[in-house]
Structure formats: structure tokens, C-alpha cells
Structure 1
């Protein structure tokens, strides 16, 4: 009689919450927005991000499609290639976000693995445009360096005009906004630093 095989230990399903939260934050999507894009309820998204639920394959597929990543990337099962000494991201491969009115464009320059720590963007705001944001987690600070035109930054009730060559640093753990009060397109570098 052949020896009996020991049952293999049960494998824990992959936890996608941290990856999902990082991808959503990098794309500046609220739970409501991602819920609409993916066709997954807001409460389910919240439970997944807090590791209180593991999604079905169908839900992972919907989320991956909505976020523009592979299922393996979302599940954390993609085999990581060895990093080259110098990595180049082509201009056409740099993801970007647009404000609902189409007057603001954020090009995402930072890598996904730093999302939730710090992020950096190229921001273009057309005349009269505004990028309005809700409060980020406590202790988050944004740094805006204006490269062309001028911008106006609001953090809570405080407001400051910023000219070419100037950098403004402000609390982003309250509602905040970046506006272009000028008549030409304004550009800036935006760095978001999350608390450690």
C-alpha cells in the first residue's frame, strides 16, 4: 500500500487591498468614481481595501480593467523583472488624469510602488481651470513649483498666489485647490508627500 500523501496546507488567498488602494490613490479616484467605473459597489471596494473581504475573480477582472492594469498586477502575482540600471518611460506611456471640466491635466511621473508615500506630477491648468481636491490623510503636504504662468493655491481657508519660479508648500489634509487665474495655460510640478 503506497504511503498516504499529507494534505497540502491551505493557501491564503491573495490580499489585494493595499495594491487596490495605492492604484486608486495614484489615479486620484474616489471610492465612488472607481465603483462607477468598475461596476463594483462602494462598500465592497472599502472592504477589499481594508482587507475585510477578498474579491472574486470576476471582481478582480473588473477592477483591473477599470484601473488599466493586469489581473496579476492587482493580485500581486506578477513576476517582477530585474530592474535595469536605467529605466526610461516613454512620453506616450506616462499616464495622465484630467479634471471633470477638461481644463486640468496631471501627468503621473512617479512610479506606482511609491504611491501612498510620495507622488509627483506635471500639472497643466488652462486659463480659468481649477484642480479641486478633498482632504487627504492627516499630515499630507503638497509642494507646488510653478514653471509657467501663475497659479493660486487654497488650503482650507488660506489662499496664496504663486508666480513663475516660486514654490508653495501647503497642508493637503483639508480641502484644497489649485487654480489658474491668468489668461494663458500655467504649468507646475506637484509633489504629494504622505505621512510616514
Structure 2
């Protein structure tokens, strides 16, 4: 069964226009460039979690409000449920790496977690995050190589690598099958 990810670009445009904001005004409020906003709204660029968080904060809405009907609150306990169909997915530029955003938008910049799926030969190469940031990656399949700064290691199914993310770092699938894992990013 094929799942469709929410169309975030048109939703951002709809919310921006509902607030009578120009691209330039939303860019100023969010810190996201006008050209990047335009690309996102047209579906030509996939926003990162941090960009989505900046946009939702600037428009004073929750991510669940942005993608609509993805979240329901039930009863007094206020259990937040995001459906599979409304779980945002970030794709690498070449499409070889897919990250489902599992963490709450309220935790952006603090703690983020992702369901990672990577094609053979794919890589998630990252520039340094904020000072003191750390990543924890648990492999659900074999074949992942983790690099952080000048260190590099291969991990197997069930193993967790913990490494600095305030230096250049990467996760690579050196295996011959689609790789899967759980990525947690801790910002300090």
C-alpha cells in the first residue's frame, strides 16, 4: 500500500495567505529566506524539521495544524496521535535517504527523533549542529557506517552509535539492502 506524505508546501502557502503575510514578511519572521520559502511552497524543496519549526513558530501554529487533521486529542489525558499519513517525511536531495519526523514540533531544537530509511549507497551527510549536540543512531539492519569528526565505525543490527554532532558527521548505508534505523538528535 502506497502512503502519501502531506503536501507541506501548499499548506504553508495557505496558512501564510490566511495571515495576510507576504513571502518577505514570513521570511523575516521565521528567518527562512524568501527564495527558500517560495521553493517550499511550490514543492520544489523539502523543508528540514528546523525550517518547519521556524515557520510554524513564526505563524504561531502547531505542525499538526499546518498539515491538518493529523493530530487528535482524546479525552482528559490529551493523548496526541499523528496518523501515518500525516507524519512528515524529509528526503535527501537525491532521494536515497528518508527521515520520518517522529518527535513533536514543540521539541525542535531540543530533542528530535527520526525513523530513518536509506537506500544502498545512500548517505545522510550533516554539517555541525549546535555546540554540544549529540546523535544516537540505532541500526535496525546491518551495513551502516557512522562518521563523526575524524572517527568512523560500522555498526550492526541492534547496535547503537552515540557521537558528537557538533562536528561534520554522516550515516552511510554500505550494505546491499535498504537500511533502517532510529536517529535521535540531542541539542544542548
**TM-score over 0.5 (shorter chain):** yes
Segments of 5+ residues of structure 1 without an aligned counterpart are 1-15, 22-30, 41-65
Q: Distance in 2 between matches of 1:150 and 1:139?
A: 27
Runs of 4+ in 1 over 6 A off after TM superposition: 66-69
Match of 1:43 in 2: none
Q: TM-score, normalised by structure 2?
A: 0.65
Q: CA RMSD in A?
A: 3.1
CA drift of 1:77 comes to 6.8
Q: 2:158 aligns with which of 165, 174, 182?
A: 165
Q: Does 1:189 align with 2:188?
A: no
Q: Distance in 2 between matches of 1:127 and 1:190?
A: 18
* Partner SS for 1:148: coil
Higher strand share: 2
Q: Distance in 2 between matches of 1:73 and 1:152?
A: 35
* Partner SS for 1:101: coil
Segments of 5+ residues of structure 2 without an aligned counterpart are 1-25, 40-46, 66-71
* Partner SS for 1:107: strand
Bigger radius of gyration, 1 or 2?
Answer: 1
Q: After superposition, where does 1:128-147 map in structure 2 within 5 Å?
A: 128-147=121-140
* Partner SS for 2:85: helix
Cα pair distance change 1:175/1:99, threshold 3 Å? same
CA drift of 1:76 comes to 2.1
CA drift of 1:39 comes to 4.6
Q: Does 1:20 align with 2:30?
A: yes
CA drift of 1:88 comes to 1.4
Q: Would you say how many aligned residue pairs link Structure 1 and Structure 2?
A: 141
Deviations 1:53-92 (A, max 9, x none): xxxxxxxxxxxxx7679x88533278x9x95422211101
Q: Distance in 2 between matches of 1:165 and 1:114?
A: 26
Deviations 1:86-123 (A, max 9, x none): 22111010001111111000000001000011000000
Match of 1:38 in 2: 37
Match of 2:105 in 1: 112
Q: 2:172 aligns with which of 172, 175, 179?
A: 179
Q: Distance in 2 between matches of 1:161 and 1:134?
A: 20
Q: 1:74 aligns with which of 58, 63, 66?
A: 58
